[in-house]
Amino acid sequence: MTLPRIRPATWDRDTGPFFAAAAERRLVYKHCNACGRGNHVPTPSCRFCGSTDTAWREAEGKGTLYTWTTVTHPVHPAYPAPYTVVIVTLEAAPDVRLTGSVPGAPDLAPGQPMEVWFEDLGEGCVLPNWRPA
């Protein structure tokens, strides 16, 4: 990928801490202290119970493959096909599903173990990404 990838906005007050943690090679998600469920995408209050008693919690970078798609029709010069978008269920918080990207068209199976890795996009911007464990 020679062209610059799309970079995530890291300044948003609700979602920025996810990327700030990633810059420190830590994976975090929003946890609800009231009902105990994980929230992703991260919001100021819990989407399951409405409580504002939520906090960022660090998770081990382990998950299982929930679904995926191999993109064969390219639409963006920085993302040449084929590549495979993966959606991973976080082991520590089964309500949390995170996105990753795997090169090419790998053989994948539902539920297979996945592990996080941290992709450095430069200038302090780091993306938590996922690959088969």
Among 24, 55, 75, 123, binds another protein (CB under 8 A): 75
Residue 34 Cβ, how far from another protein at the closest point, in Å?
A: 15
Of 38, 83, 46, 44, the closest CA to residue 63 belongs to 38
Q: How many residues bind another protein (CB under 8 A)?
A: 43
Quick one: 97 exposed, middle or buried, by C-beta within 10 A (0-12, 13-18, 19+)? Answer: middle
Reduced to 3 states (helix: H, G, I; strand: E, B; else coil), residue 20 is helix
Write each residue from 78 to 97 as x if it is in contact with another protein (CB under 8 A), else as -, in one continuous string.
-x---x-x-x-------xxx
Quick one: 103 exposed, middle or buried, by C-beta within 10 A (0-12, 13-18, 19+)? Answer: exposed
* Footprint of another protein (CB under 8 A): 4-12, 14-15, 18-19, 40-41, 43, 47-48, 66-73, 75-76, 79, 83, 85, 87, 95-101, 110, 121, 127, 129
